[in-house]
Amino acid sequence: MESNKLVLRGTTSYFETVDSEVSQRMEEGGLVFLNMPLPVGCNYDCLKCFSGGSDIYNEQLRQRGVTAEFDSDLRERLVRDAFDIGARTIVIAGAGEPLIYSGLDEILGLTGRLGMSTVVFTNGFHLSKEKAESLFSNGASIFFSYDSTTPGNYDAVTQTTGNHDIVRANLEATLDLSEQYSITREEHKIVPFGVNTNPTRFTYNPETGVDEIKEISDLVFGRAAHFVSHITPSGNAEHNWELLTGRRDGNLNFQLKQAELIYGSGIGGSSRRKNGSCAYVYNGVTVYEGYYMPCPNAGLKIDFGRYPEVSLSDHLDSKKRMMMEANNPLCITRKEETSKQ
């Protein structure tokens, strides 16, 4: 393995790379991930965002004629049940900013006691050094979105004002802490911190001398897994595609795609398994406030019932049947990726 490739703890590639027992369970279709979006909004409105906060999940519940209501006792029962049948990671992403959720510390305390990994996605604004220390000490990994090194471009892509310097300071403090919680295992460097960067025409254009992606890569090198990936054409990005990529037709900007190949230095930023299929669908269960969702991206509006009236095992079985009937697509939300495995 190249020395600059770091593995983000608790992700699909983490298990496939360093944990043969869990990797085998993944191949067999066993439960590994509990995706648990939280009922919060977001203090950002990023041009690239596929989610738009918890409203994307609340809309599904409105279509079912129900509302989100899930107390802390049931949430703890859900996490324990998931652990008991094999889940080893809690993924908190896709519905707003987790660090503004009042019950996050309670969740992390529980997963820490169980020895589970937790991957927390954040825009970094509320990630103080003390908060990062608390997350890392409870076994959590942090997936930090940072798309620009200049205040003006940062404001443009996040649709915020004046946040860049705060986020940059939080990023640098967390990078320093990450080194203290990183370990070497079987010739791999396992890190609890990943930085996610989506190149846009604001931040990457070598023809005009703009290359903020390299600046980010140099900053995080060796201290965090760096994930560089082209924007996903959904959610806000679908509406802002031309602004972000300079393309009108919805196709990839291959110059931006090239940045992924040049600067990405992390393993484990995606839910893709080695065979290309989505681990969060085939090895995961997504529960939003007690209600089962087919996918963390909320791409399909299917009523799978409610926990605990429908057990995790029964839900996983019903989802497996659905995937078999759909000829086992790689991804259930993107038509171009629905070829048979």
Q: What is the CATH number of the domain that holds 132?
A: 3.20.20.70
Q: Which residue has the higher pLDDT, 133 or 59?
A: 133
224: domain range?
A: 6-312
Residue 329 lies in a domain: no
Whole-number pLDDT of residue 250: 84
Whole-number pLDDT of residue 232: 84
pLDDT-based confidence at residue 159 (cuts at 50, 70, 90) = very high
Calpha distance 290→308 (Å, rounded): 8
Calpha distance 232→157 (Å, rounded): 14
Residue 333 lies in a domain: no
Residue 322 lies in a domain: no
Residue 156 lies in a domain: yes
- What the block records as the tokens of 50 is 């596929």
What is the arithmetic mean of pLDDT over 294-300? 62
What is the arithmetic mean of pLDDT over 84-112? 91
User: What pTM was estimated for this model as a whole?
Assistant: 0.92
Whole-number pLDDT of residue 63: 82
What is the arithmetic mean of pLDDT over 243-248? 93
What is the arithmetic mean of pLDDT over 50-73? 78
Calpha distance 165→1 (Å, rounded): 35
Residue 144 lies in a domain: yes
pLDDT at 22 over 70: yes
Calpha distance 307→219 (Å, rounded): 43
Residue 319 lies in a domain: no
- What the block records as the tokens of 246 is 């300079």
Residue 324 lies in a domain: no
Q: What is the spatial order of strands in the sheet that 291-293 belongs to?
A: 225-228, 193-197, 140-145, 117-122, 89-92, 33-35, 284-288, 291-293
Residue 326 lies in a domain: no
* Three-state DSSP string of 56-92: HHHHHHHHHCCCCCCCHHHHHHHHHHHHHCCCCEEEE
How many domains in the chain? 1
